[in-house]
Structures are given as C-alpha cells and as structure tokens.
Amino acid sequence: MKKFKELGDANDAKMPLTVKNYVLLLAGAAIILLGLILMAGGGSDSPDEFNYAMFSWRRITLAPILVIGGFVFEIYAILKRW
C-alpha cells in the first residue's frame, strides 16, 4: 500500500480542517447554544395560568435566528479552506 506522499498529490498530506476551522466550529457551537438558552424557560408555575412570556420577541424571533445563523456559520466553518 502506498503512503500519501508517494501518491503525488500535494493535498493528501494536509489535514482537512485547520486550527482556524476548529475555532470557528467552537464559535458556531457557542452561537447555537446561546440561541437554545434564549429559547428555554417560560413555563408557568401553575397549569391553571397562562404565561404570555412564552411568546416574547426573544423566544419567537431572536433565538431561532441565532440557532439558524449558528448552523449556517458551522457550515461555513467546515467548508472554509485556509
């Protein structure tokens, strides 16, 4: 079996992801985690009462944008070639 260096392709010896890619992946994971934290909570203490905080702007708009944006950022971090 031939080794990577013997195949003649210059990119075979190079790692697919660099340290910058991993840093961007961690940043994307932090964005997703922040969105999930902003989406959590808001339950009522009593099942007889309805809590309108469940429909706040933070949970309905901001948190899903952060989660989707985090996933898009993750895709960018994986595909970006340094």
What pLDDT, in 10s, does the model give residues 1-55?
555 555 554 554 578 889 999 999 999 999 999 999 999 977 777 888 887 878 8
Closest CA to 63 of 43, 37, 42: 37
Question: Tens digit of pLDDT for each residue in 56-66?
Answer: 999 999 999 99
Q: Is 66 exposed, middle or buried (0-12, 13-18, 19+ CB in 10 A)?
A: buried
